[in-house]
């Protein structure tokens, strides 16, 4: 297992190099002049040129990339064009609110998704199955930003039970985590149902029932573990999407996270922030995929990596 993990970690280097190059080119193709935005609309051309030189934007594109990547591998992502603070400090402040929001959303989404999927599979083509799949389709079809606004209107404006903005207490996490995790719970339910239906038709399940085991033991002990591999794959991908794709929900709830920081950076053409965040999101996906592969071997001991 260790040689496999080490090989995957070494594979990060060329992957991140390609991602860094693509992000660098994409960011520099965005319309607008960062030097003009930093200088302000009333600054003269001489001031703009001085700022452009100070930011290193007057250099050829390939020199800018070499300078950026050589510093990035040492953990230096430069300074924000907007706040003049180190990019690492800006991201560090916004990372944990997004991380805990993602964890909260994932926890309840996995719990409800597994329960709905298992119930739907066990009572396939009966009313629990139809009800569960109706909820799943509704969760996938309803946009997260619309659900977020609906939840705010109902529980904050009309009932006054929960706050709408901020991340100061556990109560602030309830509405955005519901809005963010609804689609994940729906996808989890459908994946779990599909996987469970296949496992329930296997020979070892019929053997377990023939031995007189209760249906609860058959489902939870024999079926659950054997149906988890495709579910774990989906969980890893969804966790990565939640961590990097909570932009819309953070905007709706004015959440002080990385998604909101990325939106502000795009509006201000803050190149260092944009590049660092996208690189971080890419790195997260790579590590999550590695963790998922390792979990395969934990769930199914017959799987061995070389």
Same domain, 253 and 283: yes
DSSP 254: T
Same domain, 192 and 268: yes
Mean pLDDT (10-residue bins), the chain, 306 residues: 69 77 76 69 74 74 79 78 81 85 86 86 83 82 80 83 76 85 84 80 76 74 72 74 73 81 80 82 77 69 58
Structure tokens at 300: 């199914």
Same domain, 104 and 251: yes
Asked whether 33 and 48 are in contact (CB, 8 A), the reply is yes
CA gap 306, 304 in Å, rounded:
7
Structure tokens at 24: 């660098």
Same domain, 59 and 145: no
Q: What is the pTM of this model?
A: 0.76
Same domain, 50 and 172: no
CA gap 302, 298 in Å, rounded:
9
305 belongs to a structural domain:
no
Domain total of the chain: 2
Q: Which residue has tokens 């998604």?
A: 259
Helices (H), the chain: 2-10, 12-28, 34-39, 45-55, 61-72, 87-122, 127-141, 144-151, 171-200, 203-210, 215-217, 224-226, 228-244, 247-252, 258-268, 271-299
Q: Which domain holds residue 12?
A: 2-72
Same domain, 50 and 104: no
Of the residues 72, 100, 128, the one at which a domain ends: 72
CA gap 182, 99 in Å, rounded:
17
Same domain, 115 and 7: no
Q: What is the H or E stretch that residue 11 is in?
A: none
Same domain, 161 and 232: yes
78 belongs to a structural domain:
no
CA gap 137, 6 in Å, rounded:
40
Same domain, 58 and 175: no
Interaxial angle between packed helices 171-200 and 228-244, expressed in degrees from 0 to 180 and rounded to the nearest 10: 150
Same domain, 20 and 114: no
CATH number of the domain where residue 286 is located:
1.10.3720.10
Asked whether 20 and 69 are in contact (CB, 8 A), the reply is yes
DSSP 227: T
Of the residues 72, 100, 130, the one at which a domain ends: 72
Interaxial angle between packed helices 87-122 and 127-141, expressed in degrees from 0 to 180 and rounded to the nearest 10: 160
82 belongs to a structural domain:
no
For CA atoms 248, 249, 255, 256, the dihedral sign is negative
Asked whether 132 and 189 are in contact (CB, 8 A), the reply is yes
pLDDT, residue 19, reads: 79
Q: Which residue has tokens 């860094």?
A: 20
Count of positions (residues) in the chain? 306
> What's the angle, vertex CA 251, arms to CA 269 and CA 116, rounded to 5?
135
3-class secondary-structure state, position 211: coil
Same domain, 113 and 181: yes
Helices (H), 142-270: 144-151, 171-200, 203-210, 215-217, 224-226, 228-244, 247-252, 258-268
CA–CA distance from 300 to each of 13, 23, 190, 248 (Å)? 30, 37, 22, 37
Asked whether 191 and 228 are in contact (CB, 8 A), the reply is no
């Amino acid at each position: 297992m260790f040689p496999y993990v080490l090989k995957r970690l070494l594979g990060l280097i060329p992957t991140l190099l390609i991602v860094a190059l693509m992000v660098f080119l994409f960011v520099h193709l965005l319309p607008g002049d960062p030097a003009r935005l930093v200088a302000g609309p009333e600054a003269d051309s001489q001031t703009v040129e001085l700022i452009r030189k100070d930011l290193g934007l007057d250099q050829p594109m390939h020199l800018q990339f070499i300078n950026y990547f050589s510093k990035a591998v040492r953990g230096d992502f430069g300074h924000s064009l907007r706040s003049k603070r180190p990019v690492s400090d800006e991201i560090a402040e916004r990372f944990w609110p997004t991380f805990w929001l993602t964890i909260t959303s994932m926890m309840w989404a996995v719990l409800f998704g597994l329960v709905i999927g298992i119930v739907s599979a066990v009572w396939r083509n009966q009313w629990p199955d139809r009800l569960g799949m109706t909820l799943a389709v509704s969760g996938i079809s309803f946009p997260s930003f619309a659900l977020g606004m609906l939840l705010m209107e109902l529980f904050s404006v009309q009932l006054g039970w929960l706050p709408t903005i901020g991340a100061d207490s556990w109560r602030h996490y309830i509405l955005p985590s519901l809005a963010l995790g609804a689609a994940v719970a729906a996808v989890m339910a459908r994946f779990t149902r599909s996987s469970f239906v296949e496992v329930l038709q296997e020979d070892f399940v019929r053997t377990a029932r023939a031995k007189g085991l209760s249906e609860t033991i058959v489902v939870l002990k024999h079926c659950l573990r054997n149906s988890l591999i495709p579910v774990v794959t989906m969980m890893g991908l969804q966790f990565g999407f939640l961590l990097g794709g909570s932009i819309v929900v953070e905007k709706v709830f004015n959440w002080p996270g990385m998604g909101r920081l990325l939106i502000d950076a795009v509006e201000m053409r803050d190149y260092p922030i944009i590049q660092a965040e996208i690189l971080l999101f890419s790195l997260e996906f790579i590590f999550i995929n590695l963790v998922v592969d390792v979990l395969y071997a934990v769930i199914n001991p017959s799987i061995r990596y070389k």
